[in-house]
Amino acid sequence: MAQINSWIKTNRLVAGVIVGVLAVVVLGIAFLGIANATDKPAFCGSACHEMGPYHSAWSSGPHKDIACVECHVDNGQAARLGHKFEAMKELMSHFRGDTSFPRAVPAKVPDSRCVRCHTSIDPAIPGFDHEAHKKGRPCASCHADAGHKVTAAALQEAGILNAVVTSGKASSETTKAIVDAGAADLPGHVAVSCSRCHVMSKTSCSSCHTAKHQPRGECATCHQPAAKFVFTHPAADADCASCHKPPAKHPAATDCTRCHPNAGTSWKTKHKAGATCAGCHTRPAKHRDGACAQCHKKPGKSWAFSHPASGSSCAGCHARPAKHRSGACASCHRNAGKSWAFSHPARGSSCAGCHARPAKHRSGACASCHRNAGRSWAFSHPGTRASCSSCHSRPSIHQGGQCSSCHRRPGRSWAFSHPGLGANCQDCHDRPSAHSSGQCSKCHHSPGRSWSFSHPRIRGGEHTWKSFACKNCHPNSYMTHGCFKCHDSANGGD
C-alpha cells in the first residue's frame, strides 16, 4: 500500500487520468443498468405515479406484449440512451407539480415505429378505403389510442386529469361525442376517430353503417342518430310508397292519406263519410245495384250491413226463389228489416192461397186433418166420430158395415183386427163351393186369430183322418162317414 501511495505522489497526473477513466466506466455501467431498467413497462407502472393509468390501459390493450419504447423511442441503443435525457423533462414536471394529463401537446409517434410491426394494412372494414383516408397523414392522427386507451375517468381517479385540455377536444378520452365541439356534432353519438376529419352532422349514415332492411333512402329520414338509433316516422308529406307496399287486394289509390290521415303518427284506417264508395270498393258478385248507404248506413264508421226498414220494396234487392208463391213478402216474412225467418200465417188464413192440394188428395177443410196450421203441417187423423167414407173408399170386394168393426183404432191406426168369437162369420165370408155345412168353428178353431183348418178328431181318438183314405169316411163328397164300414160288431168290438 505504501508503494502505491508513493507512486501516486510521483505520478499524480497519470493517477488522476486512471481514476477518471474508472469513474466514467463505473458510472457508464450504472447508467446502462438504470437505462435498461427504465425501458421496462413495469417501471412505468410502478416507479412513475403519472404513468399508472396508462400502464393499466396498456396491460389490457392489444399492445400489451409490446414494450413502451418500441413505440415511443426510435430503434437502436444510441437513440434509447439519448431519450433518457428527453425523459428528464417528465421528471422535472413531476417536481414542479405539473402532473396533469393529457398533455396539450401529445407524444409524437412517427410512422416508422408503427411499420416495424405493421408491414401490411388490412382494416377489414366494409366500405372503408384506408389509402383514401390516409392521404399522407401520420398513423397517430387516427390511431392515437392504439397503445393505451385512457379515459378521462381513469385520469380523474388518479388525480392527474387536465380538465382544460379534455374539455377542448373530442377524442376517445370521452365516452360520447361532445355537441358543438368541432366535427363531433351529433348528440349522443359514440366517440369515433372519424370526427377528427369529418363533420358528423354532414356525413351520411350509410358511409359507415349498412341497413339490415331493404334500401329505403338515407337512414336519417327515419332514424335519429343518438346513443339509441330510435325510429321516427317521416313527416306526413313523405312518399309512402318508398317504404310501404299496399296489402293484397288493397284498393288502388295515389294518395294514402285519403284513408290513413295520420301518416307519420298512426297507420290506422279512418274512413271518410263523404267519400265515394266505388273509388275504393268493388261490389261483390251478384250484389244489388243502388246507393251503398241504403244498406250500409254508417259509412266512415262501420260497413256493417243494416237491412232497410219494413216499408222498403223487397223486390228491389231480392228475387223470389223458384216455385215461390206470389203475394206480399211480409205476409210470411214478418220481421222484414230485422230477420227473413219464415213465419207461417195464422189459422184464419186461406191455405189455398199458398198451397196446392197434392194429387188424389181429398177435398174439404185442410184444418180437419192438418190441425196445427200456422205452426206445423203434420198430419193428424180425425177422431172416432168422423165419417171414414168422407176420405176413404172401400176396396173392391170389401164387405159392408161399420169400418170400426174390423178397424178398431180409427184416428190412430188402420191396422185390421178380426172380430171376436161372438161375431157371425157369414156376415163377412161366403162358404166355398162343396163346403160342408155347420158351424165354422167346428173345423176353424181359432176365429178372430187364425183361419187355419183343424180336422175334427175321430171318436175314441185311436186314429185320425191320416190313417186311411178320406173317401172311406167321406164317400159322398166328404159329407158323411161311418165306423161300421171298417169296424164290424161281430168282431168283438175291434
Q: Model confidence over 239-255: pLDDT tens digits? A: 777 777 788 877 776 67
pTM over 0.85: no
Query: Does pLDDT of 158 surpass 80?
Result: yes
Instruction: Please tell me the predicted confidence (pLDDT) of residue 26.
Output: 63
**Torsion angle (degrees, nearest 10) of CA 271, 273, 275, 281:** 50
Reading the block at residue 259, the C-alpha cell is 284513408
List the grid coordinates of 450: 187364425
First vs last C-alpha separation in the chain: 196
CA-based nearest residue to 451, from 429, 479, 480, 422: 429
pLDDT exceeds 70 at position 11: no
Dihedral over alpha carbons 231, 234, 236, 238 (to 10 degrees):
-140
Quick one: average pLDDT of 77-99?
77
Give pLDDT, residue 403.
Answer: 82
Residue pair 225/189 in contact by the 8 Å Cβ criterion: yes
Q: What is the pLDDT of residues 364-398, one digit of tens each?
A: 788 788 877 667 778 888 777 777 877 888 888 88
What confidence category does residue 471 fall into, taking pLDDT thresholds of 50, 70 and 90? low
Q: What is the DSSP secondary-structure string of 339-387?
A: -----PPPTTS-GGGT-PPPTT---S-GGGT-TTTTT--------TTS-
Residue 468 pLDDT = 64
Q: What is the pLDDT of residue 180?
A: 38
Between strands 230-231 and 223-224, the pairing is antiparallel
